[in-house]
Amino acid sequence: MVISELEPDRTERRRYPRVDRKIRVDMHFDSHGYDIRGETHDISPVGTYCQVDRPIPEMTQLKIILELPADQVKCEGTVVRSVPGPNHSDLHHLAIFFHEISDEAKHKLAEFLGI
């Protein structure tokens, strides 16, 4: 038996590649009534993996501002994964899907990311 037959299909299915880039991200969620600031670890025009200083439950809807060097990108996103940081630290890692982002905002982000 060939080992590769047992390995799952690892074909990249994302429409846009993720780019390792640290960008300040400001988030607001009405359901909890407060703002939170974080930093992206990687990002694409349709989502990000970022780090914040408190837990945010999965499926939470967020209003997001991505602070690019010369501009801002505003969008809305949904937390699709929320993972506590290592060793019980105050850090939490979020995967966020941008469910409301204009074509213009996607273009700005893609241009900034060089994709």
Give the CATH number of domain 16-113; options: 2.40.30.10, 2.50.20.10, 3.10.20.30, 2.40.10.220: 2.40.10.220
Alpha-carbon distance of 64 to 36, in angstroms, equals: 10
pLDDT in tens, 4-58: 455 555 555 557 889 999 999 999 987 666 689 999 999 999 999 999 998 899 9
**Domain range summary for the chain, segments of one domain joined by +:** 16-113
Looking at the DSSP bridge assignments, the partners of residue 28 are 35, 63
Q: Are strands 34-44 and 47-52 parallel, antiparallel or unpaired?
A: antiparallel
Alpha-carbon distance of 82 to 55, in angstroms, equals: 7
pTM, two decimals, is 0.83
